[in-house]
Amino acid sequence: MTNASSTRSAAITGRSSGAGSVTGIRAVVEFARNLDLIQTVSLLTLVLTVIFSFDHWLFHIISRTCFLIFILRPSSLRRPQFWFALALAGTITIILAWEQVDNHKYLLVYWTWVLFVLHLFSQPDQQKRILLFNARFFLCLIFLAASGQKLSSPSYRSGAMFEYYLYVDPRFAAFGKLIGIHPAVGDAVSRQMHFLRSPFADVDGNDIHIQGSDRARVAALAMTWWDVSLQLLIGALLLFRRRRTDGIAHVLLLFFIFTTYIPAPVFGFGWIVAIMGFTLAKNKFPKIAGVYILCFFAILIYQLPWRDWVLAM
Amino acid sequence: MIIRSAFSRWFLTLCVPCVALLVVGRQVYLSMHYGLSAWKGGGMGMFAAADELSNRYAKVFLVQSDGNRDPLVQLTPDDFDVLNRALEYPTRENFRRAAKQIASENWIPAFQRRPLLKVNGKGEPMHAEEKAFRVMVASPLQPEKPETNGIEIQFWKLTYDPHTRHMHGSLAETFVFSPDELFRPRATRNNS
Secondary structure in 3-state letters for chain A: CHHHHHHHHHHHHHHHHHHHHHHHHHHHHHHHHHCCHHHHHHHHHHHHHHHCCCCCHHHHHHHHHHHHHHHHCHHHHHCHHHHHHHHHHHHHHHHHCCCCCEHHHHHHHHHHHHHHHHHHCCCHHHHHHHHHHHHHHHHHHHHHHHHHHHHCCHHHHCCHHHHHHHHHCHHHHHHHHHCCCCHHHHHHHHHHHHHHHCCCEEEHHHEEECCCCHHHHHHHHHHHHHHHHHHHHHHHHHHCCCHHHHHHHHHHHHHHHHHHCCCCCCHHHHHHHHHHHHHHHHHHCHHHHHHHHHHHHHHHHCCCCHHHHHHHC
In a mutagenesis test of the B interface, which of A103, A118, A172 is the best target, namely the one with the most B β-carbons within 10 Å?
A103
Q: Which pLDDT does position B1 carry in this prediction?
A: 63
pLDDT for B189: 57
The helix (H) or strand (E) run that includes residue B84 is helix B77-88
Determine the pLDDT at residue A155. Answer: 92
Percentage of chain B beyond pLDDT 70 is 92
* A10, pLDDT greater than 50: no
Residue B110's DSSP bridge partners are none
Chain B residue numbers touching A161 (CB-CB < 8 A): 47-50
The pLDDT of A256-273, averaged and rounded, is: 85
The percent of residues in chain A predicted with pLDDT above 90, rounded, is 63
pLDDT, residue A19, reads: 63
Q: Is the dihedral of CA A294, A295, A300, A302 positive or negative?
A: positive
State pLDDT tens for residues A130-157. Answer: 999 999 999 999 999 999 999 999 999 9
For residue A47, what pLDDT is reported? 95
- pLDDT class of B190 with cuts at 50, 70, 90: low
Give mean pLDDT, residues B23-39: 94
User: For residue A3, what pLDDT is reported?
Assistant: 46
Model pLDDT, residue A280: 97
Partners of residue A99 in chain B, C-beta under 8 Å: 36-37, 40-41, 85, 88-89, 94
pLDDT at B64: 86
- Who among A99, A133, A188 is closest to B36 (CB)? A99
- pLDDT (0 to 100) of residue A292: 95
CB contact under 8 A, B125 and A195: yes
Shortest distance between the Cα of A304 and any Cα of chain B, in A, equals 23
pLDDT in tens, A212-253: 788 889 999 999 999 999 999 999 999 999 999 999 999 999
Please give, rounded to a whole number of angstroms, the shortest distance from the CA of B100 to a CA of chain A: 18
pLDDT at A8 over 70: no
Quick one: average pLDDT of A59-68?
A: 96
Contact predicate A97/B88, CB 8 Å: no
The answer to whether residue B77 neighbours chain A at the CB level (below 8 Å) is: no
Q: What's the confidence (pLDDT) of residue A2?
A: 43
Asked whether the beta carbons of B130 and B124 are under 8 A apart, the reply is: no
Contact A200, B117 (CB under 8 A): yes
Residue A173's pLDDT is 83
Tell me which residue in B19, B45, B57 faces A103 most closely, judged by beta carbons.
Answer: B45
- Examine the pLDDT at A6 and tell me if it is beyond 50: no
Return the pLDDT at A21. Answer: 67
What's the whole-number average pLDDT of chain B? 88
Judged against a pLDDT cut of 60, whether residue A9 lies above it is answered with: no
How many angstroms separate the CA of residue B171 from the nearest CA in chain A?
A: 9
Query: Which region among B12-21, B90-99, B117-126 has the lowest average model confidence (pLDDT)?
Result: B117-126
pLDDT band for B122, please (50, 70, 90 cuts).
Answer: confident
Q: What is the average pLDDT value for chain A, to the nearest integer?
A: 88
- All residues at 6 or more sequence positions from B10 whose CB lies less than 8 Å from its CB, including other chains: none
Q: Residues of chain B with pLDDT > 90: what percent? A: 53
> Mean of the pLDDT values across residues A198-213?
88
Could A212 and B165 be called an inter-chain contact, meaning their C-beta atoms sit closer than 8 Å?
A: yes
A216 vs A64, higher pLDDT: A64
pLDDT at A67: 96
pLDDT at res. B143 = 67
**Average pLDDT estimate for B96-109:** 91
